[in-house]
Amino acid sequence: MKALVVDGNKAIRGLLREILTKMGLEIIEADCDDEIMKSLVYVEGIGIALIDVGTETVDCRKVCADIKQHWPYVKLIVTSEEMSEPEEKVFKALGVGAFLKKPYELIDVRDAVSQALGNFNVPDYE
Protein backbone atom coordinates (compact mmCIF):
# COMPACT_ATOMS: atom_id res chain seq x y z
CA MET A 1 0.00 0.00 0.00
CA LYS A 2 1.12 3.55 -0.68
CA ALA A 3 0.86 6.51 1.69
CA LEU A 4 0.66 10.12 0.54
CA VAL A 5 2.50 12.41 2.97
CA VAL A 6 1.64 16.11 2.77
CA ASP A 7 3.65 18.55 4.85
CA GLY A 8 5.35 21.83 4.00
CA ASN A 9 8.34 20.86 6.13
CA LYS A 10 10.75 18.61 4.23
CA ALA A 11 12.29 17.31 7.48
CA ILE A 12 8.90 16.17 8.78
CA ARG A 13 8.12 14.51 5.45
CA GLY A 14 11.44 12.69 5.78
CA LEU A 15 10.66 11.58 9.32
CA LEU A 16 7.24 10.29 8.27
CA ARG A 17 8.85 8.58 5.27
CA GLU A 18 11.20 6.73 7.62
CA ILE A 19 8.47 5.72 10.05
CA LEU A 20 5.92 4.68 7.43
CA THR A 21 8.49 2.78 5.36
CA LYS A 22 9.32 0.70 8.45
CA MET A 23 5.60 -0.01 8.67
CA GLY A 24 5.69 -1.49 5.17
CA LEU A 25 4.16 1.44 3.31
CA GLU A 26 5.52 2.99 0.12
CA ILE A 27 5.67 6.80 0.41
CA ILE A 28 4.65 9.53 -2.02
CA GLU A 29 5.43 13.09 -0.87
CA ALA A 30 3.62 16.34 -1.69
CA ASP A 31 3.73 19.89 -0.38
CA CYS A 32 0.95 21.67 -2.29
CA ASP A 33 -2.61 21.13 -3.59
CA ASP A 34 -1.49 20.46 -7.17
CA GLU A 35 1.01 17.78 -6.15
CA ILE A 36 -1.62 16.08 -4.00
CA MET A 37 -4.13 15.85 -6.83
CA LYS A 38 -1.50 14.79 -9.39
CA SER A 39 -0.34 12.04 -7.04
CA LEU A 40 -3.87 10.73 -6.55
CA VAL A 41 -4.63 10.85 -10.28
CA TYR A 42 -1.40 9.33 -11.58
CA VAL A 43 -0.10 7.06 -8.79
CA GLU A 44 -1.96 3.80 -8.29
CA GLY A 45 -2.33 2.19 -4.91
CA ILE A 46 -2.54 5.18 -2.57
CA GLY A 47 -4.60 3.92 0.35
CA ILE A 48 -3.85 6.49 3.03
CA ALA A 49 -2.98 10.20 3.16
CA LEU A 50 -1.39 12.10 6.04
CA ILE A 51 -2.08 15.81 5.55
CA ASP A 52 -0.75 18.63 7.72
CA VAL A 53 -3.26 21.39 8.45
CA GLY A 54 -0.48 23.97 8.79
CA THR A 55 0.94 23.56 5.28
CA GLU A 56 0.50 27.02 3.76
CA THR A 57 0.20 25.75 0.18
CA VAL A 58 -2.61 23.33 1.06
CA ASP A 59 -6.28 24.03 1.77
CA CYS A 60 -6.63 21.02 4.05
CA ARG A 61 -10.43 21.07 4.31
CA LYS A 62 -10.85 21.30 0.55
CA VAL A 63 -8.25 18.60 -0.08
CA CYS A 64 -9.93 16.23 2.39
CA ALA A 65 -13.34 16.87 0.81
CA ASP A 66 -11.96 16.37 -2.72
CA ILE A 67 -10.18 13.16 -1.78
CA LYS A 68 -13.30 11.69 -0.19
CA GLN A 69 -15.42 12.75 -3.18
CA HIS A 70 -13.15 11.28 -5.87
CA TRP A 71 -11.20 8.59 -3.97
CA PRO A 72 -13.48 7.54 -1.09
CA TYR A 73 -11.34 4.49 -0.32
CA VAL A 74 -8.34 6.66 0.68
CA LYS A 75 -8.08 6.84 4.46
CA LEU A 76 -7.23 10.27 5.88
CA ILE A 77 -5.07 11.34 8.80
CA VAL A 78 -4.74 15.03 9.63
CA THR A 79 -1.67 16.31 11.45
CA SER A 80 -1.54 19.58 13.35
CA GLU A 81 0.24 21.40 16.15
CA GLU A 82 -3.12 22.52 17.52
CA MET A 83 -6.68 21.64 16.69
CA SER A 84 -9.80 22.73 18.50
CA GLU A 85 -12.66 20.33 19.16
CA PRO A 86 -14.93 22.14 16.64
CA GLU A 87 -12.21 21.89 13.97
CA GLU A 88 -11.77 18.20 14.71
CA LYS A 89 -15.53 17.68 14.26
CA VAL A 90 -15.39 19.41 10.87
CA PHE A 91 -12.57 17.13 9.73
CA LYS A 92 -14.36 14.04 11.04
CA ALA A 93 -17.41 15.07 9.00
CA LEU A 94 -15.10 15.26 5.96
CA GLY A 95 -14.09 11.64 6.50
CA VAL A 96 -10.85 12.01 8.46
CA GLY A 97 -10.21 8.77 10.34
CA ALA A 98 -7.45 9.83 12.72
CA PHE A 99 -5.54 12.85 14.02
CA LEU A 100 -1.87 13.29 14.88
CA LYS A 101 -0.83 16.12 17.18
CA LYS A 102 2.65 17.52 16.59
CA PRO A 103 5.17 16.80 17.90
CA TYR A 104 4.46 13.10 17.66
CA GLU A 105 6.32 9.93 18.57
CA LEU A 106 6.76 6.77 16.52
CA ILE A 107 3.99 5.04 18.47
CA ASP A 108 1.59 7.94 17.75
CA VAL A 109 2.09 7.54 13.99
CA ARG A 110 1.70 3.77 14.26
CA ASP A 111 -1.53 4.10 16.26
CA ALA A 112 -3.02 6.73 13.92
CA VAL A 113 -2.30 4.61 10.84
CA SER A 114 -3.76 1.55 12.53
CA GLN A 115 -6.86 3.52 13.55
CA ALA A 116 -7.38 5.07 10.10
CA LEU A 117 -6.92 1.75 8.31
CA GLY A 118 -9.16 -0.15 10.69
CA ASN A 119 -6.57 -1.94 12.79
CA PHE A 120 -4.13 -2.42 9.92
CA ASN A 121 -1.60 -5.00 11.02
CA VAL A 122 1.32 -2.69 11.77
CA PRO A 123 4.51 -4.55 12.67
CA ASP A 124 6.30 -3.76 15.92
CA TYR A 125 9.75 -2.27 15.53
CA GLU A 126 12.19 -0.16 17.50
Q: What is the DSSP letter of 48?
A: E
φ, ψ for residue 52, nearest 5 deg: -85, 130
| pLDDT (tens digit per residue) in 62-104 | 999 989 988 999 999 999 988 899 999 999 999 999 999 988 8
Confidence of residue 120 (pLDDT cuts 50, 70, 90): low
Spell out the CATH class of 2-116: alpha beta
Nearest to 101 by CA among 120, 85, 125: 85
Q: How far apart are CA 86 and CA 73, in angstroms?
A: 25
- Look up the pTM and report it: 0.88
Domain boundaries, given as residue ranges, for the chain = 2-116
| pLDDT (tens digit per residue) in 19-30 | 999 989 999 998
DSSP H stretches of helix in the chain: 10-22, 33-42, 60-70, 85-93, 106-116
